[in-house]
């Protein structure tokens, strides 16, 4: 079954309207719609519009709060805590980064720990918000147990991601957004569907042994063995301990736990002013020089130039701006259902 394609503006308008029809406050709905569509536009389908029906189910079940009362407490010149009041992670996260940027504008750097939040999609959405305002942005979240503990038999930490975005001179911000596992769970699920084996190094079975059988994979291998596992713990300390949220195996699972249960996730955001360290214009020009040099490094395969982090996402965004965002048939059927129930039009790209 071929995908349906929808232009990003059209998809965002539709998602916003469907959220508002479900009683979600406009500013909250805006973050969710923008975050999901931006992520799909950038080619990161695992964390994009695919999640929309799940979020709506979580909303209807009471996991997500459509009308949050954020509680922000500035605790020092550069630090603060934000109560997300159990709303969509996209909204609590955006509010957290907004506060971090405000603190950074005054104090040079701003750090905000967000608690009582939920799944926030792609970490890049928040770091890019800082970069779009000319600051360096960092975003972190924890997640439910899925990463194999080095030396153990089962997962304890999630595939806790790390993300940094930096404004550039003549192109979209530099953006590194990566899970600390080798691959995502979705890639294992895809192999289960196709029946293909998985490469060694992706995951382990319930005895903690490497396996190539996707049906036996029960947890994902961290990058660099103990190193990715150590980074996941570092991120857990920032996102669970500095926020007072549950950690490790105590975290409410996105799918496996009852959907009315609140996730109680924490995030950690940081923004930094470049001009507190070096001349901003020179910084951007040197970053451009660095990126150009890296892209011109001799390639192992001549037809595949060396890339810098974020290049695949920039290429996807350029292509999908033209072609529209691909939407699977099953997701499209759900869209048509929302369209009919709430009388909200959605127009696919004509082919």
Residues labelled catalytic: 119
- Minimum CB–partner distance for residue 240 and its own copies (Å): 8
Subset of 304-323 contacting its own copies (CB under 8 A):
304-309
Query: Is residue 207 classed as helix, strand or coil in its secondary structure?
Result: coil
Comparison of 66 and 208: residue with beta carbon closer to its own copies: 208
Name the strand (E) or helix (H) holding 109. Answer: strand 109-117
Distances (CA, A) of 92 to 35, 218, 221, 298: 12, 31, 30, 43
How far is it, in rounded angstroms, from Cα 97 to Cα 110? 9
Is the torsion defined by CA of 120, 125, 130, 133 positive or negative? Answer: negative
Contact 55, 66 (CB under 8 A): no
Stretches 18-26, 38-46, 222-230, 326-334: which one binds its own copies (CB under 8 A)?
222-230
Comparison of 31 and 127: residue with beta carbon closer to its own copies: 127
Report DSSP state, residue 189: H
- Minimum CB–partner distance for residue 151 and its own copies (Å): 5
Asked if 231 interacts with its own copies (CB under 8 A), we say: yes
Subset of 179-198 contacting its own copies (CB under 8 A):
182
For residue 117, which of 149, 156, 157, 70 has the smallest C-alpha distance?
A: 70
- How big is the site for its own copies, counted in residues (CB under 8 A)? 75
- The angle that helices 26-41 and 124-132 make with each other, rounded to 10 degrees, is 100
Residue in 21, 216, 242, 259 binding its own copies, rule: CB under 8 A: 242
Residue in 94, 149, 160, 218 binding its own copies, rule: CB under 8 A: 149
Asked if 152 interacts with its own copies (CB under 8 A), we say: yes
Subset of 277-306 contacting its own copies (CB under 8 A):
277-278, 282-283, 286-287, 290, 293-294, 297-301, 304-306
Comparison of 102 and 328: residue with beta carbon closer to its own copies: 102
Asked if 234 interacts with its own copies (CB under 8 A), we say: yes
Taking the CA atoms of the chain, what radius of gyration do you get in angstroms?
20
Beta bridge partners of 212: none
Stretches 13-21, 55-63, 85-93, 233-241: which one binds its own copies (CB under 8 A)?
233-241
- Minimum CB–partner distance for residue 314 and its own copies (Å): 14
Comparison of 245 and 327: residue with beta carbon closer to its own copies: 245
Contact 17, 346 (CB under 8 A): no
Structure tokens at 272: 């930094």
Burial class (CB in 10 A: 0-12, 13-18, 19+), 10: middle
Subset of 202-221 contacting its own copies (CB under 8 A):
207-209
Asked if 272 interacts with its own copies (CB under 8 A), we say: yes
Subset of 108-127 contacting its own copies (CB under 8 A):
108-111, 113
Asked if 171 interacts with its own copies (CB under 8 A), we say: no
- Minimum CB–partner distance for residue 292 and its own copies (Å): 11
For residue 271, which of 134, 136, 93 has the smallest C-alpha distance?
A: 136
Beta bridge partners of 345: none
Residue in 131, 162, 188, 198 binding its own copies, rule: CB under 8 A: 162
Neighbour-count burial for 165-177, b at 16+ CB within 10 Å, e otherwise: bbbbeeebbbbbb
Comparison of 77 and 189: residue with beta carbon closer to its own copies: 77
- Minimum CB–partner distance for residue 166 and its own copies (Å): 6
Asked if 239 interacts with its own copies (CB under 8 A), we say: no
How would you classify residue 32: left for phi > 0, otherwise alpha for psi between -120 and 50, otherwise beta?
alpha
Residue in 79, 116, 141, 218 binding its own copies, rule: CB under 8 A: 79
């Amino acid at each position: 079954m071929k995908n349906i394609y929808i232009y990003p503006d059209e998809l965002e308008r539709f998602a916003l309207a469907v959220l508002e029809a479900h009683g979600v406050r406009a500013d909250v709905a805006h973050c969710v719609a923008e975050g999901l569509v931006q992520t799909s536009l950038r080619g990161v389908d695992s964390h994009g519009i695919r999640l929309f029906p799940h979020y709506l189910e979580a909303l209807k079940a009471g996991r997500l709060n459509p009308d949050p009362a954020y509680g922000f407490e500035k605790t020092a010149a550069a630090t603060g805590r934000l109560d997300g009041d159990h709303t969509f992670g996209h909204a609590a996260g955006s509010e957290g980064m907004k506060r971090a940027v405000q603190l950074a504008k005054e104090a040079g750097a701003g750090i905000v720990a967000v608690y009582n939040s939920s799944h926030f999609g792609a970490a890049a959405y928040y770091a890019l918000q800082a970069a779009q305002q000319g600051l360096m942005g960092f975003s972190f979240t924890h997640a439910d147990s899925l990463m194999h503990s080095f030396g153990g038999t089962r997962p304890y930490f999630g595939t806790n991601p790390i993300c940094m975005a930096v404004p550039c001179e003549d192109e979209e911000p530099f953006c590194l957004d990566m899970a600390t596992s080798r691959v995502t769970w979705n890639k294992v699920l895809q192999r289960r569907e196709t029946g293909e084996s998985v490469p060694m190094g992706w995951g382990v079975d319930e005895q903690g042994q490497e396996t190539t059988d996707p049906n036996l994979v029960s947890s994902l291998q961290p990058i660099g063995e103990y190193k990715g596992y150590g980074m996941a713990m570092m991120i857990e300390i920032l996102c669970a301990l500095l926020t007072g949220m549950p950690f490790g195996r105590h975290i409410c699972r996105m799918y496996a736990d009852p959907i009315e249960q609140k996730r109680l996730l924490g995030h950690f955001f940081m923004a930094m002013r470049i001009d507190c360290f070096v001349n901003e214009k020179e910084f951007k020009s040197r970053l451009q020089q660095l990126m150009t040099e890296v892209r011109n490094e001799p390639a192992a395969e001549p037809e595949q130039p060396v890339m810098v982090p974020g290049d695949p996402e920039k290429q996807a965004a350029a292509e999908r701006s033209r072609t529209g965002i691909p939407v699977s048939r099953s997701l499209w059927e759900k869209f048509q259902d929302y369209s009919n129930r709430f009388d909200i039009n959605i127009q696919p790209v004509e082919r």
